[in-house]
Structure 1
């Protein structure tokens, strides 16, 4: 099955680079490009993509508002936010808007392609550097860092997996760390989403922080 992708970024060169590498990748197809959030929302409605790769900062409607409108719509598109290291103030807003993944623009293009595939299957994805910043942003909000009860109603193994998610590890990395299969790691993540009533992997990161399983770092 081909993953249909919309690219939303106000920098034509960024879109061109992504479009070129996606065009050369089996199983991925660019079905539209947007230079601002409003155009991204329109394309998400008309093209019904599986994934929208969304810049956070764009003129007019920004990526956060566009993400909220897309995820609240009926199209079912997953949104990956593209961010830079100075976007800390935007991360929590993007989380609340329903973004399924956070990537940094200086990541290797192959990693971004892998992220598109992962998010298209319904899994969330966080670059480790973004995970650390997201946790720090959450920790610094007044009243947000009150510890959650340690008893989360999960098994010891599920707690291990949650800790690794909180540290930004992918399913493949979790599998390697715990000497289990990737399919088993994905099963644990699915169970955690259900048991902890978490919308996505990003929320699991926050729960791991609240439970004291990971710490905000500088």
Structure 2
């Protein structure tokens, strides 16, 4: 029986590359290609698909991207298995994707031949991580074991969310009725608890936990945000 697959990626060359690799697999049938979440959802609404292979960050789509899109796909198409094809280097993001139902993850740092095994694993509802993705996740688990679990207060979580949305420390302070210095202290406290080293890590944390969409973070300039500190 053929495994029916849909592929979604906003980079035409990567989309074509994935299609070319999977077209050579005898029992995989490519049902369609999509360059954003709008096209992907329309495709799934008209075609019977067993496995979706999706990029994590796909701006412009009506249904968002990142964790937001993955959660939506799980709700709207619960019978469809999810596999992720991503260039993300943040292990928290990868683990967040698995937490919302992604069965298989292929890093774009690995060979696209990993896609075949990822699709078979997703179709069978088994977990699969390509070599580089596995290395990232294993390393994070070791670091977590050393540092212990971290829990943010409600205010710390709110500060990170608003910062990831692009608000300055002053703007956040005005919203919650606190001074910029207090907001800065809460931001730094949250970063220390989570082991985040910079503003780009904050954006990745916000994506992983569904606080913002992946495309929102990709439009932020983390370097300029540093100036608020």
Q: After TM superposition, is the score higher than 0.5? A: yes
Aligned to 1:7: 7
| In 2, Cα distance between equivalents of 1:72 and 1:64 | 12
Q: Deviating runs (4+, > 3 A) in structure 1? A: none
Q: Which residue of 1 aligns with 2:176?
A: none
TM-score (norm 1): 0.58
Match of 1:68 in 2: 71
Structure 2 gap ranges (5+) = 153-229
Q: How many residues align?
A: 144
Structure 1 residue 120, shift from structure 2 partner? 1.1
TM-score (norm 2): 0.55
Secondary structure (helix, strand or coil) at the match of 1:100 reads strand
RMSD of the TM alignment (CA)? 2.4
> SS in structure 2 opposite 1:86?
coil
Is there any run of 5+ residues in structure 1 with no aligned partner, and where? 145-218
- Is 1:37–1:58's contact at 8 Å kept on the other side of the alignment? yes
Residue correspondence of structure 1 range 1-218 to structure 2 within 5 A: 1-60=1-60, 61-134=64-137, 136=140, 139=144, 142-143=150-151
Give the 3 Å change call, closer, same or farther, for CA 116–82 of structure 1 in structure 2. same
Q: CA–CA distance in 1 between the matches of 2:115 and 2:129?
A: 11
Structure-2 separation of matches of 1:48 and 1:70: 14
Deviations 1:113-171 (CA, angstroms, capped at 9, x unpaired): 12212221221212243234335179276149xxxxxxxxxxxxxxxxxxxxxxxxxxx
The structure with the greater share of residues assigned to helix is 2
C-alpha distance in structure 1 between counterparts of 2:2 and 2:20, whole Å: 16
